[in-house]
């Protein structure tokens, strides 16, 4: 699956997107955040306040307890400031 990052999450991770292959025990968005954080300091920095991070699966907003099975694209970003 593909992970995509926006705004300061993107800046902190240091990438706009990447292919990821989390292990099977990573079932939810929250699990995925935990797994990413374990991969390096840049992720730890991006997700240091994990509750503040919003997520979308295949371009739809989801909560952190959403299951990631079957997802093609998972996006992480700060609260939106458009409008």
Among 19, 24, 38, 82, binds another protein (CB under 8 A): 82
- Contact residues for 71 (Cβ-Cβ < 8 A; gap 6+): 1, 57, 58
Number of shown-chain residues binding another protein (CB under 8 A): 17
Per CB under 8 A, 51 contacts another protein: no
Among 38, 51, 70, 81, binds another protein (CB under 8 A): 81
In this structure, are residues 60 and 72 in contact, taking their beta carbons and an 8 Å threshold?
A: no
Per CB under 8 A, 15 contacts another protein: no
């Amino acid at each position: 699956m593909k992970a995509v990052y926006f705004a300061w999450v993107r800046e902190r991770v240091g990438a706009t997107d990447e292919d990821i292959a989390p292990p099977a025990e990573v079932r939810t968005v929250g699990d995925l955040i935990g797994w990413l954080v374990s991969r390096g300091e840049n992720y730890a920095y991006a997700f240091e306040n994990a509750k503040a991070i919003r997520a979308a699966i295949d371009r739809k907003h989801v909560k952190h307890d959403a299951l990631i099975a079957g997802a093609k694209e998972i996006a992480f970003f700060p609260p939106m400031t458009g409008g």
